[in-house]
Amino acid sequence: MRIKGIEHIGLAVDSIDTAAPFWRDVLQLTHRGSEEVKLQGVNTDIYDTSSGKVELLEGTNPDSPISKFLEKRGSGIHHICFEVDNVESAMTELKENNIQVIGDNPTIGAEGYKVIFIHPKSTGGVLVELAEKPLK
């Protein structure tokens, strides 16, 4: 697979409303958008540093993975996302190398990216997302 760079860092926060002013007003990052990703039970709020984004994540229900993460570990870095040119072939490659991928197929994440997640057990403790940019 070919990694094209850090796409974003996902930060779990208790409340986007409370967390956003630091990123928006103090660091003055460009706001790219806010959207709910129903499949993952999260609201996202995304800022661009011009070299990788910051993605704020809050759970939309108590059973969502983000809510469970917050309950267990509190707010902080939730995952790191790398951009790849082809997420399907990346997934095949990972499975060939016995890397534990979460789920059987890529899903559509924020901003329409096609994404997969690699289990922290296979990465040294960090949840890693791989994302393929949608064709515009």
**E strands, 13-99, in order:** 30-37, 42-48, 53-59, 76-84
**Which x/- pattern, by CB under 5 A, does the window 65-84 give for Co ion?**
----------------x---
Binding status of residue 129 toward Co ion by CB under 5 A: yes
Query: Applying CB under 5 A, which part among 9-17, 26-34, 95-103, 117-125 lies near Co ion?
Result: 9-17
- Would you list the DSSP string of 81-126? EEEES-HHHHHHHHHHTT--EEEEEEEE-GGG-EEEEE-GGGTTS-
Binding status of residue 10 toward Co ion by CB under 5 A: yes
Minimum CB–partner distance for residue 72 and Co ion (Å): 18
Tokens of 10: 């996902």
d(CA 80, CA 77): 8
Query: Applying CB under 5 A, which part among 25-33, 34-42, 64-72, 126-134 lies near Co ion?
Result: 126-134
Binding status of residue 111 toward Co ion by CB under 5 A: no
Minimum CB–partner distance for residue 88 and Co ion (Å): 18
d(CA 36, CA 27): 24
Query: Which residues contact Co ion (rule: CB under 5 A)?
Result: 10, 81, 129
